[in-house]
Amino acid sequence: MKILETKQAVREHCSTLRKAGQSIALVPTMGFLHEGHLSLVREAARRCDVVVVSIFVNPTQFGPNEDLDSYPRDTERDLELLAREGVSGVFMPSVDEMYGATGDTFVEVPELSSILQGALRPDHFRGVSTVVSKLFNIVQPDVAVFGEKDYQQLAIIRQMVRDLDMPLAIVGHPTVREADGLAMSSRNVRLSEQQRAEAAALSQSMTAAETIASEGTQIVELKRVITEVIEENAPNGKIESVEIRDALTLAPLDGALDRPAVILLAVRFGAVLLIDQRVIDVTNQLG
């Protein structure tokens, strides 16, 4: 496994692979890898001959009061895990290498980036779409794999790739969960024991909503059930948003459930913001 610290090193590595006729899948990450990331790497390996992983804690997607400095890092362990998965190269640039001295150009998908999480975190998705475009330009992968957990991020990346005719396929991979249903996230280690136990309420609340959902169920009723389950089971969690949106366009839904929808949750435990999602398709249109 090659450790690649410069863009030039990545270009040379990937060009050699391409000349040898190998297809390349990219898995962009911010490191501190867990089973969820490894499942993305395995999906990438199923899709292409070789896998390149990037590890870069991207400053442009963190707001001034967000957790950039305290974002968890463990590079040695990350590299061990990736070597075991048979990854071909790991791109680990410094901030300087990635953005250089000027860094004045951004890629933005304004409409999708300003709603939901984007309304709570201004500029976050602009940082994501910019760094992801840069990674696509540097690695030039055939396929890139992203987790469905970050549902809005995935929708934005798909839209960007469509709008800018980027020549690669975007693959979304289902969320990997702990035994109690908590979506795996690098942020989970920052929860106290009590918060960690309560955090299972996010997944429980969506299961409760899914159980009562059928064609015609009122959206407002689903939201009520979700809120109630979280409030009852996670007294230390502060609900930041409970949204039920069109699963494809993320447009707001109200009235009766009549199309594939996605539940999008954001719940804060102290300094840690947890997000989760579940697609409910009572019409089976997505299958």
User: What residues act catalytically?
Assistant: 37
| 147 SS3 class | strand
Establish if 29 lies at the interface with ligand PAF (CB under 6 A): yes
Nearest approach in angstroms of CB 1 to ligand PAF is 19
| 150 SS3 class | coil
CA gap 141, 46 in Å, rounded = 14
Closer to ligand PAF by Cβ: residue 131 or 139: 131
Establish if 44 lies at the interface with ligand PAF (CB under 6 A): no
State the residue for tokens 């992203």: 146
Closer to ligand PAF by Cβ: residue 58 or 188: 58
Considering only residues 50 through 69, tell me which ones interact with ligand PAF, judged by CB under 6 A: 58, 61
Q: Binder to ligand PAF among 112, 116, 128, 183 (CB under 6 A)?
A: 128
Establish if 201 lies at the interface with ligand PAF (CB under 6 A): no
Establish if 188 lies at the interface with ligand PAF (CB under 6 A): no
CA gap 238, 231 in Å, rounded = 8
Q: Which residues of 214-234 are buried (b: 16+ CB within 10 A; e: fewer)?
A: eeebebeebbebbeebbeebb
CA gap 14, 233 in Å, rounded = 48
Is the CB of residue 180 less than 8 Å from the CB of residue 214? no
Contact window for ligand PAF (CB under 6 A) among 24-32, 173-181, 211-219, 255-263: 24-32
Establish if 117 lies at the interface with ligand PAF (CB under 6 A): no
By CB under 6 A, name the binding residues for ligand PAF: 28-30, 58, 61, 128, 131-132, 150, 153
